[in-house]
A = this chain, B = another copy of it.
Amino acid sequence: MNRPLILVTNDDGITAPGIRKLISIMNEIGDVIVVAPNSPQSGKGHAITINSTLSYEELTLDGPQKDFACSGTPVDCVKMALDKILPRRPDLVVSGINHGANSSINVIYSGTMSAAVEAGVEGLQSIGFSLSDLKWDADFDQAEDYIREIVLKTLENPMPKGVVLNVNIPNLKKEEIKGVKVCKQADAKWEESFDERVNPHGRKYYWLTGYFNNMDESEDADETALANGYISIVPVKFDLTAYEYMAELDSIYK
């Protein structure tokens, strides 16, 4: 195959160390165009910008790729790239490397994964990568070989329409990572606990905080794989229909 065209995006913003690492790996594999948010967009889920306008500008940063910073959400970036910036449909879209895990239920809150899903909606091969380390100066080197392998395998074995990959990397040294494991999304959720404060004018305000509650200890859940030292790969789809409940629901309305 010719050198693939690869679109790179993320949700932490175009200058985040995680995306710069992903770009450097993709530069070895194909021709890279980056269209990523010009500001942090974590937790934006599948938000799009419809009541406001968007803009983008080309930046000169590092390496041979082209870099475009976009004012919108991660999903806006993918739409903008496809409609306005890329010279042709890309062979692959990669999103990340996110600073922080997007395993289990986090897939629905994550801007990184929503960008990957949006590319899937557009019928493109697409992968989101996340590292279980929230730190800005996290070490992204340990997973480099695995990311390269997953990208090359995906280019060689295209996924069916309607599926993208959610790849999570444990926060371990390279020699401690046991390999990759194909998993399901663990049944887990955030237990909310808003942090209540009072502003200088006497009005209450809140920070959204909480703790992660993993309710799924099954062997094939992504949280289990990560806890056991594996990189988890979950095939993710965006047809949300609960087919297994349709017949019963139908009987209620007959």
A residues near B (Cβ < 8 Å) are: 40, 42-51, 53-55, 73, 75-76, 79-80, 82-84, 105, 107-109, 114, 117, 121-122, 153, 157, 159-160, 162-163, 180-182, 184-185, 187, 189, 192-194, 196-197, 203-208, 233-243, 245-246, 249-250, 252-253
Contact call B121/A105, Cβ cutoff below 8 A: yes
Nearest 8 interchain pairs by C-beta: A45-B46, A235-B242, A237-B242, A45-B45, A47-B47, A184-B241, A83-B192, A182-B250
Select which of B84, B160, B192 is within 8 A of A206 by beta carbon: B84
User: Contacts A185-B241, A253-B233 given: A51-B45 contact, CB under 8 Å?
Assistant: no
A sample of 18 inter-chain contacts (CB < 8 A) reads A43-B47, A47-B109, A54-B205, A54-B208, A55-B205, A76-B208, A79-B192, A83-B194, A84-B206, A108-B238, A121-B189, A162-B187, A182-B253, A184-B239, A184-B243, A235-B241, A235-B242, A236-B240
Distance of A239 Cα from B186 Cα, bound (Å) = 8
Closest Cβ–Cβ distance, residue A158 to chain B (whole Å): 11
Residue of chain B at shortest CB distance from A153: B252
Select which of B196, B206, B235, B241 is within 8 A of A236 by beta carbon: B241
> A105 to chain B: which residues have CB within 8 Å?
121, 238
Select which of B53, B157, B245 is within 8 A of A160 by beta carbon: B245
Closest Cβ–Cβ distance, residue A112 to chain B (whole Å): 13
Select which of B80, B159, B245 is within 8 A of A159 by beta carbon: B245
Residue of chain B at shortest CB distance from A165: B249
> A114 to chain B: which residues have CB within 8 Å?
45-46, 108
Closest Cβ–Cβ distance, residue A157 to chain B (whole Å): 5
Select which of B45, B51, B76, B239 is within 8 A of A42 by beta carbon: B51
Contact call A157/B252, Cβ cutoff below 8 A: yes
> A184 to chain B: which residues have CB within 8 Å?
239, 241, 243, 246
Select which of B75, B182, B252 is within 8 A of A246 by beta carbon: B182
> A55 to chain B: which residues have CB within 8 Å?
203-206
Distance of A243 Cα from B43 Cα, bound (Å) = 25
Contact call B163/A50, Cβ cutoff below 8 A: no
Residue of chain B at shortest CB distance from A180: B253
> A189 to chain B: which residues have CB within 8 Å?
121-122
> A235 to chain B: which residues have CB within 8 Å?
241-242, 245-246, 249
Contact call B43/A45, Cβ cutoff below 8 A: no
